[in-house]
Chains A and B, each alone.
Chain A
C-alpha cells in the first residue's frame, strides 16, 4: 500500500539559512498535518491543511510557513533557522480520523 512520502530524509543547514520540507500524502487523502518531534519528546502539532486550505495551527513559529498545493502535496518552509529547530519533522495524512505518518525529515541546524 502507498504510504506518505517525505523529502528530503535528512537535511543539514546552518543558522539563519532557509529549509523547505516536502510531503506527498497517501493518494486520495485530503488532509495533511505537520508535526515536530524533538529528541525524546512526543510529536508536537505545527499546522494542518484540509482540501488545500489551512485548517488548524499549533505552536508554529512565525518563521515557518506552509501550504498545500493543487496535487495535495504540502511544503513546510522554514526561514532564519535556529539551533533549536533541529528535530524530526513528520508529515501525516488522513481521509477521516486515522492519521498515517511519513518517515520524517531529520533537520540538523549547525
Chain B
C-alpha cells in the first residue's frame, strides 16, 4: 500500500512555464514533507521541505503548498528551465522519538522534462 501517492507520473513543460507536482498522504502522523530532485544515476538531493504548521513555503523558484485537511501537498517550479529536467520525489516522515527522525516514505516519482 503506497502511503504517499504522487502525480503525475510524467510531466512535459515548456521553458519558462510552471511545473506542478502533487502528492497525497494517508498517515496523519506524518509531520515533515520534503521534496527531492534526482538526476539519473545520482543520489536524491533535498530541494525544499515543509512542516504542517505552515501552508506554504517558498525558496527561489520552488514553492511547496500544503493542505493539512486534505492531506495533500504540492511542488510548484516557477520559470521552469531545461536544467530542471529530472525525477522529483515527494516524501514524508515522522518523529521517531528522542532526537532521531524516522524513515522517509517516498511517492512514486515524477519525471519532469522541460523543453527549450
B106 touches A43 (CB 8 A): yes
B109 touches A42 (CB 8 A): yes
Interface hits, A80-110 → B, CB 8 Å? 88, 90, 92, 94, 96-104, 106
Which bracket fits the contact residues of A? 20 to 34
Residues of B within 8 A of A (CB): 32, 34, 36, 41-46, 49, 89, 93, 95-96, 98-109
Tell me, yes or no, whether A74 is within 8 Å of chain B by CB. no
B43 touches A50 (CB 8 A): no
Residues of A within 8 A of B (CB): 4, 30-31, 33, 35, 41-45, 48, 50-51, 55-56, 58, 88, 90, 92, 94, 96-104, 106
Q: Which residue of B lies closest to A42 (CB)?
A: B106
A101 touches B101 (CB 8 A): no
